[in-house]
Amino acid sequence: MSATGMITTTDVTPGVSIPLIGLGTWPMTGDAATEAVFRAIDSGYRHIDTAENYANEAAVGEGIRRSGIDRRQLFLTTKFNTAWHSRAGVRDAFGQAVNRLGTDYLDLFLVHWPNPAQGRFVEACEGLQDLVSDGSIRAWGVSNFKPDHLQAVQDAGLRVPVNQVQVDPGHSQPAQLAYQREHGILTAAYSPLGRNGSFLTHPAVTGPAEDFGRTPAQIVLRWHVQNGRVAVPKSADPQRQRDNLDVFGFDLSQAQLDAIDALETGAPPRLDSATYFH
Among 217, 219, 230, 263, binds ligand NAP (CB under 6 A): 217
Residue 237 binds ligand NAP, judged by CB under 6 A: yes
Number of chain positions touching ligand NAP (CB under 6 A)? 26
Dihedral, 131, 135, 137, 139 alpha carbons, nearest 10: 90
Q: Give the separation between CA 187 and CA 185, rounded to whole angstroms.
A: 6
Active site residue 54: yes
Q: Scanning residues 25 to 44, which ones bind ligand NAP (CB under 6 A)?
A: 25-26
Buried b (16+ CB within 10 A) or exposed e, 58-92: bbbbbbbbebebeeeebbbbbbbbbebbebebbbe
The nearest distance, CB 3 to ligand NAP, in angstroms, is 26
CA angle, residues 75, 77, 78, in degrees to nearest 5:
155
Residues ≥6 apart with Cβ < 8 Å to 99: none
**Residue whose Cβ sits closest to ligand NAP:** 24
Residue 194 binds ligand NAP, judged by CB under 6 A: yes
Among 138, 234, 259, 277, binds ligand NAP (CB under 6 A): 234
Paired with 13 in beta bridges are 16
Residue 236 binds ligand NAP, judged by CB under 6 A: yes
Q: Scanning residues 81 to 120, which ones bind ligand NAP (CB under 6 A)?
A: 112
Residue 193 binds ligand NAP, judged by CB under 6 A: yes
Is the Cα torsion angle 24, 85, 83, 271 positive or negative in sign?
A: negative
Among 93, 152, 162, 232, binds ligand NAP (CB under 6 A): 232
Write out the catalytic residue numbers. 54
